[in-house]
Amino acid sequence: MTDYIIVGAGSAGCVLANRLSADPAIKVVVLEAGGPDRSPFIHMPAGYRQLMMSGAVDWGYHTVPQKHCGNRTFFWPRGKVLGGSSSINGMVYIRGHASDFDVWAQKGNPGWSYADVLPYFKRAESWELGEDEFHGGSGPLRTSRVKTFHPLAQAFFEAGQQAGYPRIPDVNVAEPEGFGPLDSTIADGRRSSTAYCYLRPAMKRPNLTVITRAHAARVIVEGGRATGVEYIQDGQTRVLRAEREVILSGGAINSPQLLQLSGIGDAEHLRSIGIKVVHDLKGVGQNLSDHVAAEIQQVCRQPISLLREMQPLNMAKSLLQYAMFRTGPVAHPGIQAVGFIRTRSEVVAPDVQIHFIMVMYGDHGRQLHRQHGYQPLVNVQRPASLGTVLIRSDDPLQAPAIDPNYLAEPEDVRVLRDGIKLTREILAQKAFDPYRGEELTPGPGVRTDAEIDTFLRHNCHTQYHPVGTCKMGPDPLAVVDQRLRVHGLDGLRVVDASIMPVMVSANTNAATIMIAEKGADMIQQDASGQRADAA
C-alpha cells in the first residue's frame, strides 16, 4: 500500500513525484510504461532528430485518416521513457499569452488566471539570466538562451522589424507579440527534461518508488473511489493499491485511454466495445486540440544553413567537441528565433506562431533536404477544430483511435493561409536579400487562396502539442474540476496537458510543467484539509 500512485513519468508526472515525495511521511509510487532515459541522444540537445528517426523511445502513434486533409494519416510522436515528451521534444520553452490562462478562469476555473499561474511558472524555473518579474531563478527546471545568433536568425529578427512587427527581448513576458529569441530547456549543454531536473534528484528518497516498463491497464474503482491501479509488467498483470489518490499523468492520449479502459467515459461508447460502465463521464477523450502547422521552404543562396553542420566530417568534429566540453553545434537543437503575429488586428492576441528553422527537412525531420535552406514553420495558435481520443477495445495494449479533426473549421484554414501569406511578406524583406533563393514549398505556383488551401490540406502536420482530452471545468463535457479531481469520483485526479480547457498559444511543455506544480500544491493542500477534518 502506498499513499499516491502516479501513472506516467512524463512532463507532469516527474514534477508530481518530486513535489509529493518531498514529505518523508508520504509514500509515492510512479508507474511508467517506458524505460529509463539512458540514451545519449536524449541528453544531447541535437540528438532529438535521431530519436525521431529511430522511434526507440516513442509510442509510435498515428491518427485516423483526416477527412479534411486529403484523408492522410498523421504520425504523432509521444515520449515513452522517463521524462515522457520532455525527453524527446525540441526543448522550446514558451509559456503562452496571459489571455490564454485568463480564459481558463473565465470558463469556470477559479485559480487558473494568469496572475494565479505565473508564480508556478516561476517556481518551476531556474533561468540562466536570473529571477525577474516573469522568470524564476532557483527552480528545478533549468532554462537558457543561445549566446550568439546565427546570421539567418538575425535576418529573421530584422525582417520582422522591416515588416512592421516589434522586436521583443523576451518571449516569456505576459503578452508576447513580435519577433524574439527562444528560451530552451537546456543547461550546460544538456537537455533539461523533467526526468533529469525533477525525478532524478527525488529518486534518492526512500519514500519514492519508480517502476519502469509498467503499462497501466485500468484504474480500480470501488464504491465510487479509486483505490489502485492494475498494470502489466513482463507479461504479468499486477495490482498496486493507493491509500490516498491515484493521479493520472499520461498526457492527452494515455490519460483518457486509461480512464476509458477503467469504465470511466461516455457510457454509450464504452458499452459499444464491451466495457462495463463504472462512471458515465461523457467528456473523456473529447475536446482534443493540437497546433496544426505548415512550412515555407526556401533555398539559401549562401552555404550557411545548419546543413553545413550535418556533413559527416563537421558532425564528427561537433560530437568530439560536445564529448569533451559540452559545447558546439550539437549542444543546442538549432532553433533560435520565433515570431508571434496577428492575422487580423481585432483578435485578442497573436493567432500565428512562426518557428524559424535554419535547415530544410520533411517527415518530422526524418527526411533531410540536401540543399542549403531555411523553413519558417507556421502554426495556428488557437485552433477551433476539436477532435477525440477513443479506445477501440478493452485491450490496454492497443493504441486508441486518435482523431484531431484537423482543419475541420474554416477559421483554422483561414488563419493558416493568412499566416503563410504574412510569412512570405517577412521573407521578402531586405534582410533576406543576401540569402533568398527559390521558394520550394508551397512554391511560386501556389498563390491564390484556393491554391494555398489545397497545399495546406495536403501538407499540414502536427506541431506535437495535443491537449484537452480530460478538460477542466464545470460544463457537461468537463472531466475534472478546478482542483483537477475527476468529476463524480473520489481519490482520482488528472494532472497533465489533457486538463487544458483551451489550447495555450505556445509550445505546451512549459504550461504542462506549471500544471503539475500547481496540481502538487492542490493535492498537498487537500490532504492537509482532510487530516484537519479528521482530527
Cβ(301)–Cβ(151) below 8 Å: no
Q: How crowded is residue 350: how many other Cβ atoms within 10 Å of its Cβ?
A: 21
Cβ(328)–Cβ(353) below 8 Å: no
Cβ(383)–Cβ(503) below 8 Å: yes
Cβ(472)–Cβ(484) below 8 Å: yes
CA dist 439 and 297 (Å) reads 6
Which set of grid coordinates corresponds to residue 295? Answer: 512550412
Question: Which of 376, 374, 461 minimizes the C-alpha distance to 425?
Answer: 376
CA dist 140 and 481 (Å) reads 27
**Beta-ladder partners of 183:** 93, 145
Question: Which of 250, 208, 203, 211 minimizes the C-alpha distance to 234?
Answer: 211
Dihedrals φ, ψ of 108, to 5°? 95, 25
**Peptide bond connecting 119 to the previous residue in cis, omega within 30 degrees of 0:** no
CA dist 523 and 491 (Å) reads 10
CA dist 356 and 337 (Å) reads 6
**Beta-ladder partners of 4:** 28, 245
Question: Which of 336, 368, 371 minimizes the C-alpha distance to 354?
Answer: 336
Q: Does residue 465 have an active-site annotation? A: yes
Cβ(184)–Cβ(145) below 8 Å: yes
Q: Cell 492542490 belongs to which residue?
A: 522
CA atoms within 13 A on the CB side of 412: 25
Cβ(47)–Cβ(189) below 8 Å: no
Cβ(266)–Cβ(391) below 8 Å: no
Cβ(47)–Cβ(227) below 8 Å: no
CA dist 173 and 506 (Å) reads 12
CA atoms within 13 A on the CB side of 338: 27
The catalytic residue among 43, 135, 372, 465 is 465
Rg (CA), the chain: 23
CA dist 328 and 41 (Å) reads 15
Dihedrals φ, ψ of 308, to 5°? -60, -40
Instruction: For residue 402, give the amino acid letter.
Output: I
- Active site residue ranges: 465
